[in-house]
Chains A and B, each alone.
Chain A
Amino acid sequence: MREDRRRLAGPGGALGRAAVRLVPALALLREGRVWSGLLLLAVPAGLLAVAVLRFDRLVPFVVSGAMDQRLAVLTLVVGLVSSWWMAERGRRRLPLEGGAGPVGPRPRDPLLRAFLGMPTGVAALVVIVLFYLTALLTPLLAPFDPAMQGDLVTGRLLPPSRDHLLGTDQFGRDQLSRLLYGARISLVIGLVAVTVAVTLGTVVGAVAGYAGGWIDAVLMRVVDMVISFPRLVLLIAIVALFQPSILLIMVILGLTQWPHIARIVRGEVMSVREREFVVAGRVLGFRPSRVLVRHVLPNSLAPVVVAATLGVGDAIVVEAILSFLGLGVRPPTPSWGVMVAEGRAHMLGAWWLAAVPGMAIVAVVLAFNLAGDALRDAMDPRRRT
């Protein structure tokens, strides 16, 4: 027992313990989970490397007054703290300081274990985390200001070189910096659109599925009608009538996606509704709203998580399409769709201008699709291997 404790406390005494507390990945490493430990360690190590290498930009990055910059810093801090807290909470279950119970690797959540057991799922997760970190840290990573134009005679449409890793566009702006800033647009649009869609879809689907009868019939006919419109056609019609802005694009992307979520939630709620514990809740005399929110919904949301993951990829593609058509994000704001549209004019001389932003879209969307698939497989006990 004492030996176990010493092994877990690790070498280095108090300093080592502090390091382990601060960087949960170290605890994983010591438990012998080398791969997951190294993978987790890469995040703080990468952050540290960026902070050291771009030390000169660190202060402006944190204290910048721009709205998107403040949001980015806030998201970054919240994300880091919450992921650290989750790891720490999981670690604390170990009887580290001499509690009762077996000492050893904490048994992992079966869902998490199934997900992490799939190489495609892990690879997708890595790409997604990388994508989010890149988007949040853009001002530290980008070699140039994305709006800075180069020499219009000698600096235009340069091929990739050591100075400009992805070359320059038709105004001599650094393509890599624009690509990095473009990630921010995709990140925000994906998140907001899916949040809108999931909220609305869950409410409508849950009410329709739980109430049944004419309420269900009416709501589902509305869903059928919205789905009858090709999504892009409806989006274009709306954009045509309103003043396009990033906020509008995000909201209407969500407003055209919710019917799919609603269908999924409705089906799930209808099957959960008949289970014994729900019937028991009804028999006990709980209000229908309480039964629905506290008992039915938490047990119906698993497929929504999958749909939401796939939906982020969808939203990113549709935003790119709208921006490509000139109906979404307006130049000079760097969005991946805008960049492909601008590169299109130079396909013969500088094909990489259109090709590379598209590859970025494919990589991110593929990651979300793979992660969604892996999640679905992890949740389906029949497919678990």
Chain B
Amino acid sequence: MAVFLLRRLLLAIPMVLGVATLVFLVLEVAPGDATARYAAPGVAPEALEQMRRNMGLDRPAGERYLRWMGAMLRGDFGVSLSRNEPVREVLAQTLPNTLLLSATALILAFGGGILLGTLQAVRAGGVVDRGISITTLLFYSMPSFWLALMLILVFSVQARNVWDWPFWFPASGMVSLDHGFLGSREQILDRIRHLTLPSVSLALVLAAGIARYMRASLLEVLSLDWVRTARAKGIPEWRVVVEHAMRNALGPVATLFGLYLPVLFSGTVVIETVFAWPGMGKLMVDSIFQRDTPVVLAAAFLFALLVIVGNLVADLLHALLDPRIRPAARAR
């Protein structure tokens, strides 16, 4: 196990280096440099040249690359141009919010997807199966921003103003304006209400894919010999499915975790922007409009880092749960 852990960690290091290199390459290929922001009719070319020297932009590409990599690995992302704060601090303020949103969405997506997929597999070929199939494919084809807007339309705009429903969900932000004046129970409730629509619209798109996978995986397991044996022994059907088959069907579904992390974070960027959720995705989009390149690049790097770390954790968990993986890793 220790060998496996070490191996997996060692594999992650070149990935991190590669991702930092990719960001550097994108920056290199792009037209203009960091001084372009200050170029204006009144600014002397000599001043820009001086600035370039101060920032080390006149150095050869190799040296700049090494400096860049060193800075990235130390977590030194420079200073935000629009906020005059170290990029690191700006990111540190938004990262927890992004993690909260994506973790909630991930739990909802896997919970819902596994449940739906199981329902489909148990009733394979029936009306329920086909109905869920079509519904999930419909959600799978929806652009997340549009789904989010439609949820806002129904559950906050119309429900509150037109239909006068007894419940509605806020459409933006993490907390209400009067959050500070609420009691501690109301505060938690307020946060959950704000979290509902963003996480649901993120989860719906993901759950659709997970349900498809779960259905196929469970169908395959249910056709195996030992499932027939279990049934022949007289074990109730629900126990056969839940205790015997599902446990074995979940293995392949768990690998989806790694595959879906990039999809999840792509969705987070959009959903945070739509719901004005103060996370890294919204920060990234806002920074583009403020021409704040250091923040954009650092956020991109951090998102990729999150994916790599998430994959690492997923692999380790998988190895802990499934002993078959470990010897295979050693043999490699």
**Which residues of A approach B to under 8 Å, CB–CB?**
221-222, 224-234, 236-243, 313, 317, 320-321, 324-327, 337, 340, 344, 347-348, 351, 354-355, 358, 361-362, 365-366, 369-370, 373
Contact = CB atoms under 8 A, between A and B. Distances in A.
B153 A351 contact: yes
B270 A321 contact: yes
Contact of B285 (A221, A228, A234, A236): A236
B188 interface: no
Given A225-B18, A242-B30, A340-B146, A230 B296 contact: no
A240 B81 CA distance: 14
Interface string B128-139: 000000000110
Among the interface residues B149, B261, B281, which one has the most CB atoms of the partner chain A within 10 A?
B149
B173 interface: no
B296 A226 contact: no
Contact of A347 (B26, B152, B307): B152
Contact of B284 (A233, A326, A358): A233
A358 B146 contact: yes
A240 B141 CA distance: 27
B150 interface: yes
Interface stretch (B38-46, B228-236, B244-252, B298-306): B298-306
A171 to B, nearest CB: 20
A146 B26 CA distance: 36
Contact of A242 (B31, B137, B142, B152): B31
Given A230-B307, A355-B150, 6 more contacts: A228-B308, A229-B303, A233-B304, A348-B157, A354-B153, A366-B138
A370 B300 CA distance: 32
A233 B22 contact: no
Interface in B271-300: 273, 281, 284-285, 287-289, 293, 296-297, 299-300
Among the interface residues A236, A344, A347, A365, which one has the most CB atoms of the partner chain B within 10 A?
A236
Given A240-B296, A355-B153, A221 B18 contact: yes
Nearest to A239: B288
B137 A370 contact: yes
Given A229-B307, A347-B153, A354-B153, A362 B142 contact: yes
Nearest to A369: B141
26 contacts: A225-B19, A225-B21, A227-B262, A228-B308, A230-B263, A230-B304, A230-B307, A233-B265, A233-B299, A234-B300, A236-B296, A242-B30, A243-B31, A317-B141, A321-B270, A324-B145, A325-B273, A337-B143, A340-B145, A348-B161, A354-B146, A361-B146, A362-B142, A362-B146, A365-B143, A370-B137
B27 interface: yes
A238 B26 contact: yes
Contacts, number: 148
Contact of B26 (A237, A243, A362, A366): A237
B107 interface: no
A239 B288 CA distance: 9
B80 interface: no
B22 A225 contact: yes
A64 B293 CA distance: 42
B15 interface: yes
B293 A228 contact: no
Contacts of B281: 233
Nearest to A238: B26
Contacts of B35: none
Among the interface residues A321, A355, A361, which one has the most CB atoms of the partner chain B within 10 A?
A321
B284 A321 contact: no
Contact of A237 (B23, B144, B149): B23
A324 B293 CA distance: 21
Contacts of B273: 325
Main SS of the interface on chain A? helix
Contacts of A317: 141, 143
Given A225-B22, A340-B149, A355-B153, A232 B141 contact: no
B141 A241 contact: no
A354 B149 contact: yes
Given A340-B146, A362-B146, A241 B269 contact: no
B293 A232 contact: no
A325 B137 contact: no
B40 to A, nearest CB: 18
Contacts of B21: 225
Given A233-B304, A354-B153, A228 B15 contact: yes
B140 interface: yes
A241 B18 contact: no
A369 B134 CA distance: 11
A212 B26 CA distance: 28
B140 A369 contact: yes
B19 A229 contact: yes
Contacts of B144: 321
A229 B293 CA distance: 17
A222 B21 CA distance: 11
Interface string B64-101: 00000000000000000000000000000000000000
What are the 3 closest A-B residue pairs judged by CB atoms, nearest first? A241-B30, A358-B146, A232-B266
B14 interface: yes
A238 B28 CA distance: 11
Nearest to B273: A325
Interface in B98-154: 137-138, 140-146, 149-150, 152-153
A326 B284 CA distance: 13
A243 B296 CA distance: 15
A358 B153 CA distance: 13
B285 A347 contact: no
Among the interface residues A230, A326, A347, which one has the most CB atoms of the partner chain B within 10 A?
A230
Contacts of B150: 355, 358
Contacts of A337: 143, 145
Given A240-B293, A354-B149, A232 B26 contact: no
A358 B149 contact: yes
